[in-house]
Amino acid sequence: MLYFQSWSGGKDSTASIILEHIYGLPPSRIIMSEVMFDKKRNISGELPEHMEWVHGTAVPLFRSWGYEVEILRADKDYLDLFFHTIEKSKVVARNGKLGGFLLGGMCVANRDLKIKPIDDFYKKIKDNFIQYVGIAADETKRLERLQGTNKVSLLAKYGYTEQMAYNLCKNFGLLSPMYKFNKRGGCWFCPSASVKEYAHTKAEYPELWEELRGLSLSDNLVSPYFRYDKTFDEVDRAVDDYLNKQQL
């Protein structure tokens, strides 16, 4: 039997690896899928400080514990999705236009850039395998979906809630720095991000924010909106208002 850890770098999937290590279970292979903004320029879609922590702290420690770690990337990146010309939409008016910014609640980046590389990886595995997933003991509905699959939650097995997973990571020095300003992970261009999250990106990584500004000037987009019913300029003004209030 083969074992794999589906790891995002978030507290729950990291805690799953720690529990496997603590309880001396058969060592798994750690698989992470990194969303890319622009593969040609090697610009990740993940938060910079998160990926610095992944490569500089977490991966070296996991390898010292005897784990193999593999970081996957999709063939496509965010810019491929943005500049993709729509041709077969049931909404005729969309055909011939560019995909543009991601739609909140209908994020194709999660499907095409995050999940697809993992699915493609597992399809190549010919032997039976168990996939450990980071779902906490207090996430009842998500745990119910694991029934009848080859996916197993070590957090549920050992009774770890989300808060306990957070504390475990913190105690092992394996808590991503993204938790200093955010309660969840996600891409810096995510349409479901909060103004606070966008403000962090603009303040700490203005060059990334300018990438989005440049895209907002593109013509022939399916939708003019960057975040649900807000354009990039509207979100940008909200971000500036937030940052100005923080300085008062």
Smallest CA-to-CA distance from 189 within 177, 178, 207, 201 is with: 201
The predicted-structure confidence for 90-110, as pLDDT tens digits, reads as follows: 888 889 999 999 987 778 899
Mean pLDDT of the chain: 94
Pairing type for strands 68-72 and 29-33 reads: parallel
* CATH number of the domain located at residue range(s) 2-180 in this protein: 3.40.50.620
What is the mean pLDDT of the segment spanning 22-40?
Answer: 96
CA distance 98 to 239: 26
CA distance 40 to 229: 31
Q: Is the pTM of this model over 0.75?
A: yes
Domain ranges of the chain: 2-180
What is the mean pLDDT of the segment spanning 46-60?
Answer: 97
The predicted-structure confidence for 105-156, as pLDDT tens digits, reads as follows: 778 899 999 999 999 999 999 999 999 999 999 999 999 999 999 999 999 9
Distances (CA, A) of 50 to 8, 74, 87, 152: 10, 19, 36, 25
Nearby residues of 115 by Cβ (< 8 Å), 6 or more positions away: 33
